Structure 1
Amino acid sequence: MSVEIITTISPITNRPILTRNSLTDADLQSIPATATRAFESYRRTSLSERQSIVKRALKLLKERQDELAKEITQQMGRPIAYSAKEVATAVMRGEYLLKISPEVLSDTLGEAEKGFKRYIKKIPVGPVLILFPWNYPYLTLVNSIVPALLAGNSVILKPSPQTPTSGEQIQQAFSDAGLPEGVIQVFHCGSLTQIEAMIRSPQIQLVCFTGSVANGLAVQKAASDRVGIRVCLELGGKDPAYVRCDVDVQWAAEEIVDGAVFNSGQSCCSIERVYVDEKIHDQFVSAIQGVLKGYKLGDPFDTKTHVGPVVSKRSAETVRGHIKDALRKGAKDATPANESFQSPLPDGNYVAPTLLIDVTHEMSVMTEETFGPVIPVMKVKNDAEAIELMNESQFGLTASIWTRDIDKGHELMEDVEAGTVFVNRCDYPSPDLAWIGWKDSGKGQTLSKFGFDQFIKLKSYHIKDYPK
């Protein structure tokens, strides 16, 4: 069988920048087998040994963050001014998970009874397959790989073909930190068929996938004929924001533009729908326009650039398609004049930040995941209408409410259907809180003490003293 060559196309120039060899049939057999052998040895190491390795690896990633930042910018187009922050934040998350691991992974004692000892031990599940995306390769990967390794599992990584070096850099950092050979393996693959074959391998005990709903369903289906395998899915979002009439409009506009446009809108938890109280709607739109006038679209290696290209021609077509659909159905383009928006670099996948008003839920831009720098703003009459519209979605990853009245914001949060709800903040997975998608946004969770749950299985020990 000939080896498929996977080519990474730069979103900045639309030219090839990297190639990798795809899986072979032999790899589909050998990788899970190696992971199983490595697991049998690694699971017997002490938690303190694992903690030392993770600590050293995180330190190495921090030291290499400038190198990794350049790779992120080159491969997926995020402005260089922000790329290093991803690595730093990933390290911070890993350090938090490291800090809580002794308590989270400790035994749970049963009821005290003379002559008996009972406890529950947390056992690693076995080889874990992690399929992680290009938009935040280090942030999404650290959520799974750190608890997986601390719990004593071996790990197989498949990075996106768009950011192939991310998995390799993680593997190298952990190898340099002393992780035994085979505990982390990396493979490259552009074929869903090969991924499904890997999932069906009987050695794989858990699959962690971050990506689209369609591919998440394919992953779940591939695992469906095995009772014992677990599946954790972090999927799409169409995250809403509700701006109440009591806010400082300028401040809210600045925050919401950042939440919608950062990373060219390519975040599962970016703001993709904005509902604004009709009493401040026009003032808020004007403030958004003022903020957008100060943004620069352009070369992501220019430190003054705020917004780089979207990841591919296909992504650009999707974003533009949502905009065209909205305009055709009665929305208005309220994007302010901005020279950089009018004349982006010619070769890349540049989509200018776009402000739409008079939008409705009849438009794809308000119902389907856009994953681009679009800010659709819709008037609402009151809190009740806002909450109803926020919940009118197949997705439920995050949602935000913007208000001076914190008590009211807290009250409204109770009725919002999302795994994470914010007041006066957005687009921020906090490591001490569970990151979990409701509805079609996923199943299972990462981060917090609950982020370890999928990487362990429980084993109860029941010991009675021998009769004297």
Structure 2
Amino acid sequence: MAPETITTISPTTNKPILERTGPTDAELDALPKTAQRAFLTYRKTSLATRKTIVAKALQLISDRQDALAQELTEQMGRPIAYAAKEITTAVARGQYLVNIADKALQDTPGEPQAGFTRYIKKVPLGPVLVLFAWNYPYLILVNSLIPALLSGNSVILKPSPQTPTIVEHMHAIFLEAGLAPDVLQYFHSGDFAKIERLVQAPEIQLVCFTGSVAGGLAVQQAAAGRVDCRVGLELGGKDPAYIRPDVDLAWAASEIVDGAVFNSGQSCCSLERIYVHASIHDAFIAALQQVLAGYTLGDPSDTATNIGPVISRAAAQRIQSHIDDAVAQGATNATPDKKTFASPPSAGNYIPPTLLTNCTHAMTVMRAETFGPVIPVQSVGSDAEAIALMNDSHFGLTASIWTKDTAAGHALAHDVDAGTVFVNRCDYPSPDLAWVGWKESGKGQTLSIFGFEQFSRLKSLHVKAYPL
């Protein structure tokens, strides 16, 4: 059988820009075995040594951020004006994880008992398989790769076919930083059968997957026959925002638009449902329109562009189907008239930022993950109605409440079913707070001190002094 060829298609031009070759069966089978051999040595290195290696790698990433950002724009279409920010944020996130590693991985003493030394130790798992998405590849990768290595595990990476060079750079950078060969490996593939084969390899102790709910379920099913293989899933969202009647309209509108259409809405925690109190509904729609009118849709290599293409033709078709379904069921397309919105570049996968009003939960756009630059708005009459609608979803990643009364917002936040709830903020994973999905948004957690937990297992030690 001929080796698998993986082609990256530019979302800006819909033309091939890169090709990679997938592993043969023999090469694939060798990956976990090589990772296991490397792990047996690497797990004995001190945490101080691991921290030094990771810190040096993060500095090398920072030094090369402009080149790495350019590749992001070319491969996944994020406007160049914003691409470098991901690298900066990923490095800062990684540095935070390095700084808390000692605390996260420290031993926990047992209750004092005469004649005994008793404690709980965190020990590394073994080879970890990280399957990560294209939309924020550096940020997503840092969430798993850094704590995995700091905890003493070996790692195998598989990137999205859309952003294949990420793993190549990271592999070279970590070797340059002093990581032993084979502690970090990678492969390219678009064939789930290969992923399934690797997940089922007995050496793999943890699979970290970031992507769609369907993809997560497939990975979980692939590991279902193994008791000794953990699965961590960072999946999708349908993240709501509630605009209370006391907000500053212009400020809130600016934040909401940014939270909904940044990265062309291609974020698991982008705003996908907006609930606005009826008393300010019309005024807030006008404020959203004014903000949107200042955005530019176009070539992501142009520094003036705010919104680039979505990732693929299939994605553009799915997003448009959500818009069409909403309009067919009575929603109004309230997007401001603008030449670039009406006539986007013809070659790429461009979806104009779209503001929909008169939305209801009968519409797909309020139920299914859209993952595009769409702002669907539904009017509500009270806090209680807003919270009920926010919780009426299979997803539970993040949610936000917007109000001048921060005490009221804080109180309402406790009633929202989501892993992260913001008041007067959105779309911001903080490295010191756990990133955790409720419902179909995932299982396990990353970031914070709790983000280290899935990368080690507990070992209790009872050491009794020899009787003299």
**Which residue is 1:463 aligned to?**
463
Measure the CA separation in 1 of the matches of 2:325 and 2:345: 25
**Which residue is 1:104 aligned to?**
104
Measure the CA separation in 1 of the matches of 2:294 and 2:307: 11
Q: 1:302 aligned to 2:302?
A: yes
Q: Deviations over 1:104-153 (max 9, x none)?
A: 11111111222110011110000000000000000000000000000000
Aligned-pair distance for 1:23? 2.2
Q: What is the letter of the counterpart of residue 448 of structure 1? A: S
**Which residue is 1:160 aligned to?**
160
Aligned-pair distance for 1:288? 0.3
Q: What is the letter of the counterpart of residue 313 of structure 1? A: R
Q: What is the letter of the counterpart of residue 48 of structure 2? A: S
**Which residue is 1:143 aligned to?**
143
Write out aligned runs for 1:416-435 (5 A).
416-435=416-435
Aligned-pair distance for 1:65? 0.4
Measure the CA separation in 2 of the matches of 1:4 and 1:229: 27
Measure the CA separation in 2 of the matches of 1:152 and 1:68: 27
Aligned-pair distance for 1:28? 2.1
Q: What is the letter of the counterpart of residue 419 of structure 1? A: G
**Which residue is 2:411 aligned to?**
411
**Which residue is 2:385 aligned to?**
385
Measure the CA separation in 2 of the matches of 1:391 and 1:169: 41
Gaps of 5+ in 2: none
**Which residue is 2:61 aligned to?**
61
Q: What is the letter of the counterpart of residue 190 of structure 2? A: G
Aligned-pair distance for 1:2? 1.2
* Percent of residue pairs identical: 64
Aligned-pair distance for 1:66? 0.3
Q: 1:134 aligned to 2:134?
A: yes
Aligned-pair distance for 1:29? 1.1
SS of the residue 1:418 aligns to: coil
Measure the CA separation in 1 of the matches of 2:15 and 2:413: 45
SS of the residue 2:467 aligns to: coil
Measure the CA separation in 1 of the matches of 2:258 and 2:80: 16
TM-score (norm 2): 1.00
Q: 1:439 aligned to 2:439?
A: yes
**Which residue is 2:180 aligned to?**
180
SS of the residue 2:62 aligns to: helix
SS of the residue 2:209 aligns to: strand
Measure the CA separation in 2 of the matches of 1:298 and 1:454: 41
SS of the residue 1:352 aligns to: coil
Measure the CA separation in 2 of the matches of 1:428 and 1:172: 29
**Which residue is 1:224 aligned to?**
224
Measure the CA separation in 2 of the matches of 1:166 and 1:341: 31
Q: Deviations over 1:141-179 (max 9, x none)?
A: 000000000000000000000000011111111111010
**Which residue is 1:119 aligned to?**
119
Would you say how many aligned residue pairs link Structure 1 and Structure 2? 468
TM-score (norm 1): 1.00
SS of the residue 1:129 aligns to: strand
Measure the CA separation in 1 of the matches of 2:390 and 2:142: 30
Aligned-pair distance for 1:253? 0.2
**Which residue is 2:237 aligned to?**
237
SS of the residue 2:208 aligns to: strand
Aligned-pair distance for 1:267? 0.2
**Which residue is 1:21 aligned to?**
21
Measure the CA separation in 2 of the matches of 1:385 and 1:100: 41
**Which residue is 2:283 aligned to?**
283
Q: What is the letter of the counterpart of residue 49 of structure 2? A: E
Measure the CA separation in 1 of the matches of 2:465 and 2:234: 46
Measure the CA separation in 1 of the matches of 2:272 and 2:80: 24
Measure the CA separation in 2 of the matches of 1:152 and 1:10: 37
Q: What is the letter of the counterpart of residue 301 of structure 2? A: F
